Amino acid sequence: MLDPEDWRCPTCLDLAYKPAVNSACGHVFCFWCLHKAMSPYAPSACPICRAQYTNLPAICPKLHQFLACQFPETYAARRQETEEEEEEIGAQSPEPQASGPLPPPAAPGQWRPQHFLCDSPRCGRLLCRPAVLICGHAVCRDCLPGSSGSGASSQGTPAAATAASSSLASSSPGSARGAYECPACRLAARQPPAVCKQLADLLGELFAEESRRPEAEAQAAQEARQAEEQAAAAASTGTAAAQGVNAGAAKGHPGLALQTPPPSASPAGDQPEPQEQQPEAAPGGSSQPGGQPPAQAAQQSLSPSLTSALRRRQAEGGAQQAMAERLEQSLRRMTAGEEYVWHGVGCDGCGQYPIQGRRHKCLDCPEAIGFDLCGACMDRGLSDIVGRFNQRHTPEHRMRSVRPRITAMHMLKAANPELPMEQLMWLLEMALAPEGEEGEEGEEAGQQQQQASEEQQQQQQDGQQQGGQQQNDQQAGAAGDGGGSELLPVLRRGPRPAYDPAAEEPSPAAYASHQPQQRTGQQGRVQGPAGGEAEGLIDEPAVTEVHVALERLLLHSGTGSDSGPSSGSGSDAGGGSS
């Protein structure tokens, strides 16, 4: 393990720089590489083993120190490369703190067990079967509090289970507080951390003697824990089975179900009255997860114009009615309480990406990438947190919770709850791709992607006939060669700045220059006095052009009415009154 090849990052194929360990499986990547491999819309899959992970881990200081001292020239070159790239994208990775009591060795190879001590204050011995946690701390697997098995799945309600077909909800039992808590910094993970095999192998090689001794003890401890875990697993088999079913269901993808019906002849006279269209008895109301006031949460997130658009659809009868009802039901479920997914927004406390449930945003961090916390991290309290991207956040900064908002991606997901997000993205990309791709194939049978893309194109054409200036521009952009390539990256994976749906411009640099104005705008809307606590809700400004265009496409094309999409100040006023 002293060969640089052993520490090659599997995605850039270079020496891993600022190594981050995917705690779900223990695989090691560069911090940036692991981030770029994440989906902004749904839980991500490890590039190597496809283990699902929901959190961007912090850099592991111990591995960072090891690589920097063991391979000084290569690591320095990697640093330079990465810093140039960071300059370009306008974001930074944090500098890892000291990794232990000993200063780094003077020369490569002079490693001592004190360089690799367990971070648990109750242990402090040489790491044994090390797990690197989402906070970057390394602890012996047996120094972790075992999964108690309680809590983890207690939140699941039948309704939540159906909504979980995305596999997102099912994988993140938001209430697993206390399970897998870091003994050093108390950050709780939602998933059990795995042993980092690379680090374990390194320790075995460096300290053959020392690492053999605790092995026997560890073995015994492990067996005891396994028995415990098995008992716990038996208790939650039900959930696991349900997940299996969902995964199976996702296989038979029926193509994009979200159809824009042909332009109806109905005149645009029936203007909606947004304020009054609040849902009194939504068709999906009965299936809401109990307890919470979900209806209220949904009211806040489904904008009046969106609601009225759906209502209009429902009134049109037939297939449209069914579709609109299904959509509204899914949307309400997706936006209620802990279900809402903040596409493209990550938590700077625990690294959850995308954030699910409550989101709290810092009003004062000037960095373009922003500073956000998930509900759990907000509740934990924060003092000297360093953001995942080195934001200089301080406890004096004002945090505000942000109101969930339906975007085109949520609608797409709501209309196709059985499709995994990755597949939706792919279908969408195909639909928006410059024409001539799958061209004059003409063979309809069996080719779902193609069908879907054709449907989507049909929708686009329908939409275009309806007019709407912005929409036309957007379509023209999508069809044109260069325009298409400008639009598409917004929909794909990639570094966080480009995907923040809150950013009006996809480019982080452009966003930075807009930021001050936006911030004052938001402050104006904040309710209640300023302070560290999250009282009033704030609304995020517009989503990207693509989102707006899609929204129009999906919801407004049949009506000809020019009521804008749910963003903008009009709907904010409605939300504020509740």
Partner 1 sequence: MPIDLGRVQKEIRDIDRDKASGVTIEVQGNSVQKLIGCLKGPRDTPFDGGIFYVNIELDDQYPFVPPKMRFITKVWHPNISSANGAICLDILKDQWSPALTLKTALLSLQALLSSPQPDDPQDAVVARQYMGSLAEYEATARQWTQTYAHAQQVVGLEAKVQQIVEMGFGREQALAALKRANGDENGAMEILLGA
DSSP state for residue 452 in the 8-state scheme: H
Q: Is 350 near Zn ion (CB under 5 A)?
A: yes
Q: Does 284 bind partner 1 (CB under 8 A)?
A: no
316, interface contact from Zn ion, partner 1, none, CB < 5-8 Å by kind: none
Among 3, 5, 276, 443, binds partner 1 (CB under 8 A): 443
From Zn ion, partner 1, none, which one binds at residue 135 (CB under 5 to 8 Å depending on kind)? Answer: Zn ion
Residue 120 or 172 having the CB closest to Zn ion: 120
Q: Work out whether strand 130-132 and strand 52-53 pair parallel, antiparallel, or are unpaired.
A: unpaired
Burial code (b: 16+ CB inside 10 Å, e: under 16) for 239-270 equals beebbeebeeebeebebbbbbbbeeeeeeeee
CA atoms within 13 Å, Cβ hemisphere of 115: 22
Shorter beta-carbon distance to partner 1: residue 289 or 354: 354
Distance CA(393)–CA(384), nearest Å, equals 8
Q: Nearest 5 degrees, angle CA 420-CA 155-CA 229?
A: 90
Place of tokens 């209430």: 175
Nearest to 260 by CA among 438, 419, 411, 425: 411
- Neighbour tally for 206: CB within 10 Å: 19
Comparison of 71 and 116: residue with beta carbon closer to partner 1: 71
CA 364 – CA 93 distance, rounded (Å): 19
Query: Does the CA dihedral 287-289-291-294 come out positive or negative?
Result: negative
CB of 447 to partner 1, least distance (A): 7
Instruction: Name the packing angle between helices 318-335 and 304-315 (round to 10°).
Output: 150
Shortest separation between residue 418's beta carbon and partner 1, angstroms: 14
- Select from 53, 342, 371, 511 the one that contacts Zn ion (CB under 5 A): 371
Q: Find out whether 132 and 26 touch, Cβ atoms under 8 Å.
A: yes
Rg, the chain, Cα only: 25
Q: CB under 5 to 8 A by kind: which of partner 1, Zn ion, none does 107 bind? A: none
- Half-sphere exposure (CA, 13 Å, Cβ side) for 451? 12
> Minimum CB separation from partner 1 for residue 164, in Å?
19
Task: Candidates 40-48, 221-229, 333-341, 474-482: pick the segment binding partner 1 (CB under 8 A).
Answer: 40-48
Stretch that binds partner 1, among 374-382, 439-447, 471-479, 564-572 (CB under 8 A): 439-447
User: Does the protein bind partner 1 through residue 493 (CB under 8 A)?
Assistant: yes
102 lies in the site for partner 1, by CB under 8 A: no
Q: For partner 1, what does the binding mask look like between residues 471 and 490, x meaning CB under 8 A? A: ------------------x-
Binding site for Zn ion (CB under 5 A): 9, 12, 25, 27, 30, 33, 46, 48-49, 51, 118, 120, 123, 135, 137, 140, 143, 182, 184-185, 347, 349-350, 352, 362, 364-365, 371, 374, 377, 393, 397
Catalog residues that contact partner 1 under the rule CB under 8 A: 10-14, 33, 36-37, 45, 47-48, 50, 81, 85, 88-89, 420, 422-423, 425-426, 437-441, 443-447, 449, 489, 492-495
